Amino acid sequence: MKNTYIARQAIFNDTSETIGYELLFRDSPDNKFPEVDHDIASSKLIIQNHIHGDIKTISMGKLSFINFTENCLIHKFPLMFDKDSIVIELVGHEKPTNKLLKIIKFYHDEGYIIALTQYDLALHWDVLFPYINIVKVDIEKINTKRLLPAVTRMRAFNIAIAAEKVETRNQQQTLAEVGFDYFQGYFYHEPEIIEGQTLAPIKTQMLNLLSETFNSPLNYETVAEIISHDVNLTVGLLKLVNNVSTGNRVKITSLKQAAAYLGEEKLRHFVSILALSNLTSETTDEVCKQALITAKMMYSLSNNDAFKPVNDFAFITGLLSSIEVMLSMPISEIVKTMPLATPIETALVKHEGLLGQLLDLTTSYILGYEQVTIDQSLTNLLNQYSLEKEVVQAEFLKASQWCNDLDL
């Protein structure tokens, strides 16, 4: 399928809390705006991430700031979005026309949040003030001291002011004193490319799905709801369950039927596997397979008497063992977004506790490392838990075959 690229840059309030993300169309992994008409860029952004995906998940539940030209507004493109999920950013306007004023009033009356960008201090923009919520100012182009009279006029309409291209902390402090409410720039967050395939589930949605698999008992309704938001997920789960259920080849047609047929434990594993596989890209595909093998091995080895106390956590811990590589985020940050049990979090972040020992033992064996830590060898660790290398080797081969049979 054709790859899609979106640049996402965070927008913060004066306490450095993220209030939303500006979404920018890209046509390649190069983090720059392509030579393409703004109308086309807006249209592609909408198609890629609303029709084929879920724009709310790209912005992690925060507001999505999207550029719209006058032509896009006239064609009612913003109406494709929930008014509570987006901010309409006006771009490509040299001055307000009667037509623009009329269409802005329409979206204002519909309850949409509207931001005026490329503001140049000209008085003719004041006619829009009753209908807009945010004014964005490029501080590289506008001297903030010249902005003070305009700030006074905006406050009468309760308009928030956002600074673009903030580069230093000193700038942020000065701007806050002037009266800026929101801040955006490389100082806070360099635009990051989000790459995926059309129709591919979004990463945050997958994290939500993974998080649900940690709950016990498993909430089938919640899992089904998340899956139902994406056609690929629905088809993928049913295909996966059909492929690996039993030799009876029972045709699974719904998540409810799959749950009843497979039971909670198997369904939890399969749902988490599906979620993990959809977090990967071509560059992390092998990492995903290693995580799956780690999960299966840890689960099998946890049936050993010494590791029985962590049996319930073993599979999920192995599954998440490589997630920081997949998401290019520190594991300490990732775990903050997921309701993990304390033993799992401790094992992943600190590699401590019985679960941490099992994780280190398994990953060291898979990677061929004899030394697990500075003062602990793999041989000593195996002896400590009365595990023979032949047994671990057999479990590794079984896990590898199991991963291959998944045909992800």
Amino acid occupying residue 365: Y
Amino acid occupying residue 359: L
Segment 165-177 shows an average pLDDT of 74
The per-residue pLDDT for 331 is 82
The per-residue pLDDT for 376 is 84
The per-residue pLDDT for 356 is 94
Q: What is the pLDDT of residues 121-136, one digit of tens each?
A: 889 999 999 999 999 9
Q: Residue 387: CA atoms inside 13 Å, Cβ hemisphere, count? A: 27
Give yes or no for residue 355 having a pLDDT over 90.
Answer: yes
Query: How do the residues of the chain divide into helix, strand and coil, expressed in percent and rounded to 5?
Result: 55, 15, 30
The per-residue pLDDT for 2 is 44
Give yes or no for residue 27 having a pLDDT over 50.
Answer: no
Sign of the alpha-carbon torsion through 388, 404, 278, 29: positive
Give the end-to-end CA distance of the chain in Å, rounded to a whole number. Answer: 16
The per-residue pLDDT for 60 is 67
Structure tokens at 7: 């640049």
- The angle that helices 285-301 and 389-406 make with each other, rounded to 10 degrees, is 130
Residue closest to 44 by CA, chosen among 82, 10, 72, 84: 72
Express as a percent the part of the chain with pLDDT over 90.
Answer: 19
Q: What span, in angstroms and rounded, lies between the C-alpha atoms of 357 and 31? A: 41
The per-residue pLDDT for 334 is 76
pTM here?
A: 0.46
The per-residue pLDDT for 214 is 67
Please report which confidence band the pLDDT of residue 51 belongs to, taking 50, 70 and 90 as the band edges.
Answer: very low
The per-residue pLDDT for 105 is 95
Structure tokens at 404: 């291959």
Give yes or no for residue 380 having a pLDDT over 50.
Answer: yes
Q: What is the pLDDT of residues 227-269, one digit of tens each?
A: 766 655 665 666 656 554 555 555 555 556 656 666 777 767 6
Q: State phi, psi for 57 to the nearest 5 degrees.
A: -75, -30
Give yes or no for residue 346 having a pLDDT over 80.
Answer: yes
The per-residue pLDDT for 310 is 92
Segment 202-224 shows an average pLDDT of 71
Structure tokens at 338: 């997921």
Q: What is the pLDDT of residues 67-114, one digit of tens each?
A: 887 877 887 778 777 788 889 998 877 788 899 999 999 999 999 999
- The DSSP secondary-structure symbol of 95 reads S
The per-residue pLDDT for 67 is 83
Please report which confidence band the pLDDT of residue 401 belongs to, taking 50, 70 and 90 as the band edges.
Answer: confident
Which of 150 and 57 is assigned the larger pLDDT?
150
The per-residue pLDDT for 309 is 93
330 upstream amide cis, omega within 30 of 0: no
Q: State phi, psi for 119 to the nearest 5 degrees.
A: -70, 130
Q: What span, in angstroms and rounded, lies between the C-alpha atoms of 365 and 298? A: 11
- Tell me the average pLDDT of the chain: 75
Q: What does the longest C-alpha to C-alpha distance in the chain come to?
A: 81
Give yes or no for residue 46 having a pLDDT over 90.
Answer: no
Segment 335-351 shows an average pLDDT of 83
Segment 44-48 shows an average pLDDT of 50
The per-residue pLDDT for 32 is 40
Give yes or no for residue 300 having a pLDDT over 90.
Answer: yes
143 contacts: CB under 8 Å, gap ≥ 6: none
**Which residue segments constitute the domains of the chain, with CATH numbers given?**
3-196 (3.20.20.450), 199-406 (1.10.3210.10)
The per-residue pLDDT for 22 is 84
Which of 223 and 357 is assigned the larger pLDDT?
357
SS3 215: coil
